[in-house]
Chains A and B, each alone.
Chain A
């Protein structure tokens, strides 16, 4: 009995301490005075690792998700003679939900896991400690550029995803299934609002970018410095950030588009 209570207490304290360490790491990374001359090359390197290298998976999956949406939407809409509404159906579901969410999930798998593994190995090989020995703050040198690279690239990736998916839907809907190209675009334009749909989708993407990058960096920075610990941390990054994205998506949708 006492042992059970003790276990609950220890888990609570561990969780709280973990949240505290994560917050401290984030504060140290965000609120450090940036050094433009030294920081910019580091940021560009990370934008390449995190953003550019994720481009191919985003482009391919966006294209196919748009094509599948158009194909499935068409089979239902054509029964009601409403296949002209394929444009708004695809555009709204992509901009509001699928764009930010699927991008965040792919981003967690492609870039988040890589961040965790990289920082975890740095910790295991005592590179982070060595940096501190040389009076270089690892939060500034290692964490901050990766954090900002994630914050910049993920919203861009989400926008690219939505755009390429709408083009994919156009390929299937208009060129293959024969929806009229003019009504595909014009009904879409009449239904999609820039402030309500695109901007809210972008806000979602920024929130997801923050959550995924933060979890990935923290898991790497806080991992047990063994090969087993790194593998566990990488798994936790993908699982926890995916769950956080899906849960947060419901909350954000309820706030943005709810009653």
Chain B
């Protein structure tokens, strides 16, 4: 077999291998979406994070807007702090935003659900429409590194059952 044919076949083999790597990276692991794109960080403290994990999705109304970057214990008050990375295109969250730990399905994975509350919309003059409409104080927009204070913890089955039994015994 002449060397040109061999070179063509080897080239075919190597490009097939590279195509397999690209297919695994993009189609199977979706590395393109989670790694790229500008993000900003928000933090939230919870009493109990349940089984929330690093890389769990953050959703607004079911749409993924970011992922959990890290979960640590606050060294001063021993409360779990969740570090969230959110895409910069969704940067209008205000301090009225609340965040809950929710579960997809009965046995599914836990994820963070953000309830946006009042959003910051600038009108043409650059003034806050809402504060004009309702005469509210200026609603502060959450910036990179801010804490979301309004949080609701994960439901823990044992605590629920415990509460239920406690209420039963009171009746």
Q: Residues of A at under 8 Å CB distance from B?
A: 41, 44-45, 47-48, 51-52, 55, 91, 95, 152-153, 155-157, 159-160, 162-164, 166, 185, 188-190, 192-194, 197-198
User: Given the complex of chains A and B, what is the CA–CA distance between A87 and B109 in angstroms?
Assistant: 16
Contact call B10/A160, Cβ cutoff below 8 A: no
Known: A160-B16, A160-B20, A162-B20. A198 touches B28 (CB 8 A): yes
Residues of A contacting B6 with CB < 8 Å? 44-45, 48
| Binary interface encoding of chain B residues 14-46 relative to chain A, with 1 for a CB under 8 A from any of its CBs, else 0 | 101111110111011111000100000000000
| A-B pairs with beta carbons under 8 A, tally | 78
Question: What chain B residues lie within 8 Å of A48 (beta carbons)?
Answer: 6, 9-10, 13
Query: Quick check: A194 and B31 within 8 Å, CB to CB?
Result: yes
Q: In chain A, what residue has the closest Cβ to B31?
A: A194
In the assembled complex, B90 has its CB within 8 A of some CB on chain A: no
- Docked-complex contact A189 and B10, CB < 8 angstroms: no
- A198 in contact with B13 (CB, 8 Å): no
Does B3 lie at the interface of the complex (its beta carbon under 8 Å from any beta carbon of A)? yes
Is the CB–CB distance between B28 and A160 below 8 Å?
A: no
Q: Are B27 and A52 in contact (CB under 8 A)?
A: no
Q: Is the CB of B28 within 8 A of A188?
A: yes
Q: A52-B13, A189-B29 are in contact. List 8 more A-B contacts (CB 8 A).
A: A55-B13, A153-B13, A156-B13, A163-B23, A163-B24, A185-B27, A194-B29, A198-B24
- Contacts A193-B29, A194-B29, A198-B29 given: A159-B24 contact, CB under 8 Å? yes
Cβ distance A145 to chain B, nearest Cβ, rounded Å: 12
Query: Does B55 make an interface contact (CB < 8 A)?
Result: yes
Distance of B32 from chain A, by nearest CB (Å): 9
Could you tell me if B16 and A166 are in contact, using CB atoms closer than 8 angstroms? no
Judge whether B164 is part of the interface by a CB distance below 8 angstroms: no
**CB-based nearest B residue for A82:** B107
In the complex, per-residue mask of B65-78: 1 if CB is within 8 Å of any chain A CB, else 0: 00000000000000
Q: In the assembled complex, which residues on chain A have CB atoms less than 8 Å from the CB atom of B3?
A: 41, 44-45
A44-B6, A163-B23 known; A197 and B13 CB under 8 Å? no
Cβ of B35 and Cβ of A159 under 8 Å apart? no
> Which residues of the partner chain B approach A45 to less than 8 Å between Cβ atoms?
3, 6
With A and B bound together, what is the CA distance between A44 and B16 in angstroms? 16
A153 to B19, CA, bound (A): 14
B14 CB contacts on chain A under 8 angstroms:
47, 51, 152, 156
B29 lies within 8 A of A52 (CB): no
A52 touches B10 (CB 8 A): yes
